Chains A and B, each alone.
Chain A
Amino acid sequence: QQQVKQSPQSLIVQKGGISIINCAYENTAFDYFPWYQQFPGKGPALLIAIRPDVSEKKEGRFTISFNKSAKQFSLHIMDSQPGDSATYFCAASMHTDKLIFGTGTRLQVFP
């Protein structure tokens, strides 16, 4: 029940395309859902986050869509660029508990 399931494991997108990464959770007590971006040789860094009181949050080309009833949330990267090539992790936490991360999606954007 503490798990966050992430898919796909890897994703190849052409430049200018839309990248979509999905996550699902079981624990309805989760109340914070961030996405982290990790470049090779670096630690993960916060990209965007959402709380369950909204269904969508957009920051530039990055959008989180949140479906509370389905217990799913997804990251959409519009107009994907080669510089977006990285590993993306979804995560969830409840109250002041630790972050539980998904298994990661390796995104490759080809020019």
Chain B
Amino acid sequence: DSGVTQTPKHLITATGQRVTLRCSPRSGDLSVYWYQQSLDQGLQFLIQYYNGEERAKGNILERFSAQQFPDLHSELNLSSLELGDSALYFCASSVEPGGNTGELFFGEGSRLTVL
């Protein structure tokens, strides 16, 4: 158990809908990262927050947004969903603000299926 909690584990929705994925980082971790995993793309970095502030942005679509709350949990909002958004969405956390200063701890992911 990594200590990172993601909900929901599975989500099935229709095109055009909006969903929210939630992540609770490990106790004490200030950084939260969101990654998208699809079969042919590996792990794609979406966005990172550190202590409530956006720190880095990757290949995140404009239809997607995220935030980190004062209690350090984070939410990833996906709107106007398309079939291609079907994927596993992982949240990871770390103590440090950067990816090269220590281990990232990943949750078990939220599997999104868009029909």
Contacts and interface: CB of A to CB of B under 8 A. Distances in A.
B109 A43 contact: yes
Contacts, number: 70
In this complex, the interface size class of chain A, counting residues with CB under 8 Å from chain B, is: 20 to 34
A99 B96 CA distance: 13
B25 interface: no
In this complex, the interface size class of chain B, counting residues with CB under 8 Å from chain A, is: 20 to 34
A86 B76 CA distance: 27
Interface in B65-115: 90, 92, 96-101, 103-109
B98 A93 contact: yes
State the majority secondary structure of interface residues on B: loop
Contacts of A45: 2, 105-106
A32 interface: yes
Given A98-B56, A99-B45, A44 B99 contact: no
Interface in B34-85: 35, 40-45, 48, 56, 58
Interface of A: 6, 31-32, 34, 36, 41-46, 89, 91, 93-104
9 closest A-B pairs (Cβ-Cβ)?
A96-B98, A43-B106, A32-B100, A103-B42, A99-B99, A93-B99, A101-B43, A93-B100, A46-B103
